[in-house]
Structure formats: C-alpha cells, structure tokens
Amino acid sequence: MKSRLSITQWLAALLLAMAPFLFGREVSASDQSSPSDGPILRIGSKAFTESVVLGELLSHLGRHAGARVVHVAELGGTQILWNALLAGEIDAYIDYTGTIREEILAKSQSQGANLETEEAMRSALAKQKVLMSGRIGFNNTYALGMREDHAIRLDIRSISDLKRHPDLLFGLSDEFMERRDGWHQLANTYALRPKRVRAMDHNLAYRGLVHDSIQVTDLYTTDAEIRFFNLRVLEDDLGFFPKYQAVLLMRSDLVERAPDAAKALLKVQGLVDPAEMSAMNARVRLDGKSETYVAGEFLNNKLAMGLALPSMSQAAEWRRTGERLARTTLEHVFLVAVSLALAILIAVPMGVVSARNERVARVVLGVVSIIQTLPSMALLVFMIPLFGLGAVPAIAALFFYSLLPIVRNTYGGLRQIPSSTRESAEVLGLGPWARLRLVELPLALPSILSGIKTAAVINVGTATIGALIGAGGYGAPILTGIRLSSIPLILQGAVPAAAMAILAQGAFSRLEKKWVSPRLQASGA
Amino acid sequence: MFSLENVSKSFGQTQVLKPTTVEFPVGKSTVLIGPSGCGKSTILRILVGLLQPDSGIVRFDGETMSGQTLLPMRRKMGYVIQEGGLFPHLTAFENITLMANHLGWDRPTCQARVEELSDLTRLPASALNRYPAQMSGGQRQRVGIMRALMLDPPVLLFDEPMGALDPMVRFELQEDLLKIIRTLSKTSIMVTHDMGEAGFFGDQVLMLAEGEIIQHGTLEDLIHHPANDYVTRFIRAQRIPQV
C-alpha cells in the first residue's frame, strides 16, 4: 500500500511539473526572450532544414514586432501543417506553390478549378480564410546541375546545351527517375539522348560529381551543396520544371488579432533570393550553425535589425545539448506516463467487462485490435482537428495504441481463473465488487501487469513520433538528426529512448515482485 | 432448514433434475449419492445459488431464495469442494479469514477464531502461513473446512470433499470431519459417489439416478429394502476387498 501511494504522488508531481507542455511546446531553438505582453504568434515549419530556417526567420520578424512567438518546428508534413493552420494551432508558415497546388488544393483542382496562376491559388485559399503572400523570391524546384569548372569548359548554361554533349554521364536520384515530372518527361521535352544514365542515391551523386565519375545530376535549386561543391544550376530554358515558389501562408484573422506581427511577417516577400536561401541552408547543413543563428544573421545583414545572436561557442553547444536532453526526457516521460495512466484507467475496466460478457468481448477486442493497425501518421493527422498540436494529440494517439495489450491481458488473465476458484469466492458470500477486488484481479494481476509492461515499452518507442506534431520528446533530436544527417543528434534521441524502454521493463518487473502474490510469480502467467 | 419444492433444472434439451421436492432437516446430515450425471451435484449447486432452478422454490431458514436474499444466506452456509477450492494467491490464514476480514472483524478476533478452528481440524499452526501450493492435499482440505466454518454457519455443504485424497489421508479426514459435524451439531449436506462414505456420514441418504430421487431413507433402508433393482446393483458395485 505504501509503495502504491508514493507512486501516485510521484505521478501527480510529474503531471504538475509538465502541465505547461499540455498547452503547446515552445520548440524554437532561439535563446531570445520574448516580450511578455505582446500577442501570441505561432509559427510552423516542416521537418527539413530550409523550412526550419524560414520558420526561425518568421519568428525573428514576429518577435521584433513585439509578438510572443512560439515556433512549432519540424512538423511531420504538409497535411499536418495545413490542418494545424486551419485549426488555428499555428498562424503562419512558409510553403511552396507547387505543393499548395498539388497537395493542399488537390481537391479543388480535381473538381476542375483552374489553379495555373498564383492569383487563382490565392483566391482559392482566401475562401478558407488563409492569406497567401507574394513570392519570397526563390524557387525551390528540381534542376539539373554540374560542376562549375566543367560547365565553363564545355560552355553549358541551360539544359538545352546538354544536347551538344551526349557523352556526359548522368547520375540521377531514384525519386527523380520515377516522378511524373522527372527524368523521362524531361528527356522527351528537351530531346536529350545521353549515352549513360545511372540511378543513384542523392548524397552519393554529389560525391560522384566531385570525383568526376558522373558529370550531371538532379538537385533542388536551393540545396546547400550547390555552394559547397561549387556547382552550376542549369537554366530550365523550356520551362519544364513546375514552379515551387516559396510563399507565406497566414491565417487571415491574424491581421485583426495582431496587425503589427502580420505586417512584419509580410516583410519576407521578396526578401530571399535563391543564392541567399542556398547560402543559409549551407550555413546550417555544412557550417553547423543553428537555424536561429543563421536566420538572425541574415536579417541583421539584410535589414540591419540588430538582433542578438545566440552564442555558437563549444561551451554553449554543450549547454544546449544538456538542456535538450533534460527537456526531451521530461517531455518523453510525460507523454508515456500520461498516455499509459489513461490507458490503464480505461483498458482495465474494458477488460473486466469483456471477461464478464463474451459478446462485449468480441466487440471490444475487435475495435482495439483495429485501432492497433492504424498507421501512426494517419492517427496523428486525425487527432489534430480534435486536439490541435503538441502533447495532447500525441497522448491521445499513444493512449489508443496502449489499449490492446492491456485490454487483452486483463481479459485473458480473468478468463484463465478456474471456475472452481471463482465459484468458491461467490459461495463465500462476497459480492461482485468484492470478488473482483479480493480474488479475481489479484489472480489476474500478473497477466495485467505484463500487458501494461508491453504497452509501456511499445509506448516509449512510439512516443518518438510525437515530434512530428510538435509534442517533443526523444523524437525531436531524431527528426533533426535525420534532417541534418547528424548521427550524434540521432543518437541523442535513440539512445535515451532505448534506455528508457529498458528502464520501463525493469520497473514493471520490480512492481510485479512487489505486488503479485509470491505464489503466483513462479507460474508467471 | 433447507427445502426444495418442485425444483427442476435443464441444460438445453437435457433435464438434469426432474421436479423434485425434498427436506433437509436441521442438525441432521444428508448424503446425496448416485452415479455421475444423476443430478446430485445439480441439487447442491442449486442450494448454494450457483445455479438458478427453472421452476420451483428453494427455501432456506424459512425464507425463499432469490437474487436479493442470496448474499446474506450464503454467509450462513459453509461450502467445501474438492481440493478445498482455495485461492492460490492467499496464505492459508488469509484464505480462512478473507470473508471475516471483508465483514470488518478485527485481527485478534480473527486470530482467536482461527486458533480454535485449527485445533478442531487438527491443522498444524505452521501450515497457516503457507500458500495452497505449499501444502499437502489433506492440509488443503482442512484449510477449506476451516474457511467454511469461519463465520460459524449453521449449514455445511460438501461437494465430493474427499475426491482427490489418497485412502489413508481420506480415512483420517473422514473421522475428523464427522467429529466436527457432530460436535458442532451442524446441518450438513454432502455429495459423494462412495457408498461407504455415505453410510459413514449420512443420517439420511438420498439415492439419485437420471435426474430424480429414487430412494430416500437410511443406509439400512437402502440395503435391506431397496426401492428397485438399480439401488441393489449400485450398492453391490462398491467392491469390498476379499481377504
């Protein structure tokens, strides 16, 4: 009894400590303090470097205009950001015209709306109370590129010029080989007949260019590597590649709610040219600067905003690593503990009811099994309209995933009690509740605890996806690590997550020793 | 004490107990005997409320048994099954005192009552802190009897209590059990298929076959004035060693 109490107290303390995370997570890596009384401005970004840099750039602009900025960074895809924008979980983020046309407005497009022009897209978005700004100034689309020195020697400026050099070896990314707007259409349009085309990994293609084992590759026009490897981006003189012009998407109500901040955000129009974007990506990916730092540096140079930049010293880096580990640990424990606690509260009674009624059991076990098969990404997207972004939708998703092992083991544990034992308790004169409490649940406890243990261990692993919707946790450094190809950063998430899973396993094994009657442990149900 | 009036029970198409009327007198022991599937266990399970009869009335202590009256009635019955039906997660002491604890008895009262009962059933005090899996079959059965006696109920019901015991242990326990029933002058009802056991315990014997009582009397009545041929054959079938 004593140990149970202390665990309850511990959980309660944890809940209190973590309460702020329930209401959205401040992911912004910036160290700047925000004014304390300005309007709240929520910025979103996707899980790739350019998007995070632009998110930090918007954050600086908003903060400079007096807003309290929350940057919900590295969200898991266009659909999540778009739904979050519609739900008011974020106020603004930067997307690309090609993506807006193909993914966000896909429905209106399939219904025959003509969305060729940006003006048409702008009015389609306005119907959903979303403002689309003018162009930011760079187009991040596919292009072909080659080494600058080769291009000069062979006098190649545009894709059409490649026709004169059919001997060049093409090394193209697998995705580009497959896409509708990829290699085959491109070759047709430009009548390119190179002698040799090889499909290869995008990162290896850059290495191949440097070592001259290939001469032409596909790239994104703002890739950091363009500067690093000194590449020339060939002009798309026939206009083959669709435009992916960067634009700001902003909720139209922001203009009334925070006019100064809205006006400040619109400063991004025409602010960043392709070379500048590419250089900022390179500062992060190749020079290892933080996104906050790079975006602030850019604004200081271009608009003389005089922002204080975070220190980039080694000591500051260590401090940030420590802080990140502490923060992500708290967030992760919070996600797992709350979702697991809720699941226990709901799933154990569900198991008890199922064990009493076979028809209910079939329905309940069927439904929780189906929930288990839902892809986590889909479940997360469903949660956003209901719960917004941050810890709450992640906890809801984890809760659903925890139900099956606990319900099934509660049901199974109760069903395996021999009928003679159940009847003995009944004839003794114990009422239904007393039988459950004094006899049936204690006998099913080993099975129930092992179900909870399974749920906890699965939960620790699954909670890493919470980072996709801004819930933080160990998934955040993993996501950033993948984005920056930084193994150390990935390990900062993966290693503690594995350690926590082992700890959870150990903790429940100890609880088992403590709570389960010694005579039932050997049988280890 | 207990009586059945026109009580019947079917499982699906099979009528396991034809409409039956019978009285279980106060302070006497009644034995239900018959082959497997004759309905003797069905009667016992109806008496303790584990089965609801399809028709007829069960009376206990002057009251009709129903959903509402069942719980308090059960606290006036002690029920012992094969192997004692002990809870594997509780020690012998915890098994015996579970119900008393639940009803709010204090620790000294429980302790005193358990001591009294272990004297009566001759259970060694050292066994009280063991779990069922750590005890012998005979000890488990003694604990089962102590648990049934804990609240000092006027009625004891036994469903083949000696079924799983080896002959020596069984012999000893039978003697002890009879002494207990006699000393405490309890009303008792026992199901068995062992003729010797029936004669040993029963003030009256109910012989059942195919869902009905075919003879109701003392063992002597059954032997000397069998109601029909079946009774004679059933009694003869109990082999006595030829020395």
The CATH code of domain B2-236 reads: 3.40.50.300
Best of B69, B89, B98 to substitute, by most chain A Cβ atoms within 10 angstroms, is B89
- Read off the pLDDT of residues A253-301 as tens digits, 9 standing for 90 and up: 999 999 999 999 999 999 999 889 988 998 888 888 889 999 999 999 9
Kindly report the average pLDDT of chain A as a whole number. 86
**Contact B50/A423, CB-based, under 8 Å?**
yes
**A66 falls in which pLDDT band (50, 70, 90)?**
very high
Three-class secondary structure of residue B63 per DSSP: strand
Q: Is the pTM of this model over 0.90?
A: no
pLDDT digits (tens, 9 = 90+) for A149-174: 999 999 999 999 999 999 999 999 87
Confidence of residue A35 (pLDDT cuts 50, 70, 90): low
Q: Which CATH architecture has domain A32-139+244-309?
A: 3-Layer(aba) Sandwich (3.40)
DSSP letter string, B157-215: EEESTTTTS-HHHHHHHHHHHHHHHHHHT-EEEEEES-HHHHHHH-SEEEEEETTEEEE
Q: Which residue has the tokens 């002698």?
A: A195
Average pLDDT over residues A429-447: 93
Give the pLDDT confidence score for residue B31 in this predicted structure. Answer: 93
Q: Which residues of B lie closer than 8 Å to A, measured between beta carbons?
A: 48-50, 71-72, 74-75, 77, 79, 81-83, 85-90, 98-99, 102, 131-134, 147, 151
- Secondary structure class of B81 (helix, strand, coil): strand
| Residue A417 in contact with partner chain B when CB distance is under 8 A | no
Token reading at A444: 């099913």
Flag whether residue A431 sits within 8 Å of chain B, measured between CB atoms: yes
Cβ-defined contact of B87 to A431 (cutoff 8 Å): no
pLDDT of residue A36: 67
pLDDT in tens, A300-325: 999 999 888 888 778 888 888 898 89
Instruction: For residue A36, give how far its alpha carbon lies from the nearest alpha carbon of chain B (Å).
Output: 58
Q: Please answer yes or no on whether B85 and A429 come within 8 Å at the CB atom.
A: no
For the segment A77-86, the average pLDDT, to the nearest whole number, is 89
Instruction: Measure B232 CA to nearest chain A CA, in Å.
Output: 33
What is the β-pairing status of strands B204-209 and B29-33? parallel
Within 8 A of A512 by CB-CB distance, chain B residues are none
Note whether A310 and A293 are within 8 A (CB). Answer: yes
pLDDT band at residue A6 under the 50/70/90 scheme:
low
pLDDT digits (tens, 9 = 90+) for B175-218: 888 988 888 888 999 998 888 888 888 899 999 988 889 999 98
* CA-based nearest residue to A92, from A76, A122, A69: A69
Fold assignment, A317-521: MetI-like fold (1.10.3720)
Does A439 sit within 8 Å of B102, measured CB to CB? no
> pLDDT-derived band of residue A525, with 50, 70 and 90 as boundaries?
very low
Rounded to 10°, the helix A291-303/A49-64 angle is 60
Which of A424, A429, A442 shows the shortest C-beta gap to B81?
Answer: A424
CATH code of A142-233, in short, is 3.40.190.120
Chain A residue at shortest CA distance from B69: A429
Distance from CA of B66 to the nearest CA of A (A): 14
H-assigned helices in A92-134: 97-99, 106-110, 118-126
Cβ pairs A/B, distance under 8 A: 63
CB contact under 8 A, A443 and B85: no
pLDDT at A222: 87
Is pLDDT of A523 > 50? no
